[in-house]
Structure 1
């Protein structure tokens, strides 16, 4: 498996314009601007959410969901309350941008 920290990402300026390329580890260590995508995959009954800056998407699915091991450390079905309870550190280990996007999605899309 390839080391995720070595993945090359496009570095952006504050306005979202590409300025160069750096490895993911450097982007995170130096807090460089980069694009991030979050997908909130929900069951069609609206009761469950799945893990989930600004490119956020919501889709509906009743599974099964097959994760790409190099991209997703863990996945599972959570209720929205379970998802909310895992957002406060150190309750659950989130990547920083994932935590921000998920909070924004819960506030804007779900309420």
Structure 2
């Protein structure tokens, strides 16, 4: 089942301090650079030695074709960060029944496609060895890496990695 988000979908809008402030269409959030919230899961192997890294689909509305290590997405109205993270982990990677531990929250104020993009990102960690089933409309490919392998790639400025997750990882390894 294709669960690609529609640009007409209603999502939660937040204020700059990270408090819910209403709703708007996804297209309006992206067009006007409205603060919104997303939640995602950094999936580690059960032994904690590896992180699941993936490349986003080239058809994504935001950060298309870039690499990421969070299965995540925009929070729907009335959803908690943990509910969003659980939903997105199941949708994007097909992983369910995983306990989630909050690991970080960052406010990212950047840009995409020449427009402001502002997001409060709630991150969780989960542990599973799979199986992994990609949602083709969201994820093009994926693999397991050690922290060292991911850090080595992140140190390469030419390696395209989702900037809000990059900001989050700076706090994750502190």
Report the equivalent of 2:146.
79
| 1:56 lines up with 2:123 in the alignment | yes
Greater strand fraction, Structure 1 or Structure 2: 2
Contact 1:36–1:97, Cα closer than 8 Å, also in 2: no
Within 2, Cα distance between the matches of 1:4 and 1:64? 24
| 1:92 lines up with 2:94 in the alignment | no
Once the two structures are TM-superposed, the CA of residue 22 in structure 1 deviates from its matched residue by 2.8
User: Which structure would you say has the larger RCO, counting Cα contacts within 8 Å and 6 or more residues apart?
Assistant: 2
Greater helix fraction, Structure 1 or Structure 2: 1
Unmatched tracts of structure 1, length 5 or more: none
Aligned residues: 106
RMSD after superposition = 2.6
Provide runs of 4+ in structure 1 moved above 6 Å.
none
Report the equivalent of 1:45.
47
Within 1, Cα distance between the matches of 2:28 and 2:154? 25
Within 1, Cα distance between the matches of 2:10 and 2:139? 17
Within 2, Cα distance between the matches of 1:36 and 1:9? 10
Q: TM-score, normalised by structure 2?
A: 0.49
